[in-house]
Structure 1
Amino acid sequence: MTERPTIRVQDPEALAALAHPLRGRLLSLLRADGPATASGLAERVGESSGVTSYHLRKLAEVGFVEEETDRGTKRERWWRAAHTATSWSPSDFLGDPEAHKASVSVRREWYRWQQRLLDQWMAEERDWEPEWVDVAASSDDMVVLTPAEAEALGTELWDTVQRFRERSVAAGRQAGVDGAERVVVLFHTVPIRGEWPL
């Protein structure tokens, strides 16, 4: 399986930079849609280009984005994501209250984004073909696992998603062509104690 360029965050400062909600959105847009200018991103997120420029520079300072120096001008700089994925271990920051707070903030923003994505699907579902409506899936289950088994489960799920991603890339598949569309896969593995929060 091909390794995706991933930034492994171990610096609390980098994590704190990513905790800002707008920075997370900018990074996601650059990863999903490719290079863009601050003004182009500003239109998409409903901010001024000055605001998006500031936050892009902050992301660049900690290595999440980089300038595309071979295109654009001094007035209109192009930016790209430096990596296709971000990873970190939340347990690395348990001993540092501020860093742990940033870790929670980043994850909370990702969960909010996932909820917005699901809400958007519900709003648009009636406009999609029946075969897409039928395959859009949400499910849950509860299993009793050890930490090692939970890690193995997450790895296996991730590897399956990456296998399908690689097939799509190898086939040169494009959204909107030959019945293909972009599909977002969300999954969580979280332990719980006590009552199942319903």
Structure 2
Amino acid sequence: MTLTTITPNPVSLRALSHPVRVRALGLLRVEGPTTATALASRLGLNTGSTSYHLRQLALHGFIVEDTERGNGRERWWKAAHKSTLASLPAPTDASAGETYDAYLQAVAVVYVEMLQRSLEERPLLPSAWRQASTLSDWTVRVTPARARKVVDTLAKMLFSVDDEDDDEAEQFVFQLNAYPFPGHLGRDTPEGSEERE
């Protein structure tokens, strides 16, 4: 991978606003280069459908052809970046806002699927990995500015964690989900109140 992250524009983000593409990109990032046929098997799709989704990801710069692999008959694909950072669009850009929301919906679908699979596989894990895993949540009262600061701090910490040179290291998922408690936003604070930390 040549770049660590990609921040897609709204058009590119729209191309990623599909759970199959989020899954495919995630697998390429974690498991490395592969063909449409092999990826189709992992995704539970046919090769034609998988090829279409891969072409869309390539068109928007999320993946590239791996020219060092293959035999001319099958194309190999690899992720172009380690992660995607989607920027919140301006409040006045309704179309970009809808695209951003659609992308978040696709990501949420994939996160829930991954979490469910991890729970199904949990009994098979060695004890050390079971003990390292958790499902925890904290509901706290914060301002928007403080919430953003906490999210940024956690993200920065997670970006710095990578034991790729350690033989005992394995792929380990940290899902960072941070949002106002559903149904409570605005109940305690007047609309338009200023942000404070």
Q: TM-score, normalised by structure 1?
A: 0.81
Q: Does 1:15 align with 2:16?
A: no
Shift of residue 71, structure 1, vs aligned partner: 2.4
On the 8 A contact 1:39/1:49 being kept in 2, the answer is: yes
Shift of residue 102, structure 1, vs aligned partner: 2.5
On the 8 A contact 2:8/2:85 being kept in 1, the answer is: yes
Q: TM-score, normalised by structure 2?
A: 0.82
Q: How does 1:111-150 map to 2 (within 5 A)?
A: 111-150=108-147
C-alpha separation in 2, matches of 1:193 and 1:31: 32
By percentage of residues, which structure has more helix? Answer: 1
Counterpart residue identity of residue 127, structure 2: P
4+ aligned runs moved over 4 Å, structure 1: none
Counterpart residue identity of residue 65, structure 2: E
Shift of residue 30, structure 1, vs aligned partner: 0.6
Residue segments in structure 1 that go unaligned for 5+ positions in a row: none
Residue segments in structure 2 that go unaligned for 5+ positions in a row: 186-197
Q: Does 1:188 align with 2:187?
A: no
Alpha-carbon deviations, 1:52-82, whole Å to 9, x = none?
A: 1221111111111111223224321111111
C-alpha separation in 2, matches of 1:37 and 1:61: 17
Shift of residue 100, structure 1, vs aligned partner: 2.6
Shift of residue 193, structure 1, vs aligned partner: 7.0
What SS is found at the alignment partner of 1:112? helix
On the 8 A contact 2:19/2:110 being kept in 1, the answer is: no
Alpha-carbon deviations, 1:163-193, whole Å to 9, x = none?
A: 222xx02xx124xxx4x43211112221347
C-alpha separation in 2, matches of 1:21 and 1:193: 23
Shift of residue 144, structure 1, vs aligned partner: 2.6
How many pairs align? 183
Q: How large is the RMSD of aligned CA atoms in angstroms?
A: 2.2
Counterpart residue identity of residue 109, structure 2: R
Shift of residue 93, structure 1, vs aligned partner: 6.8
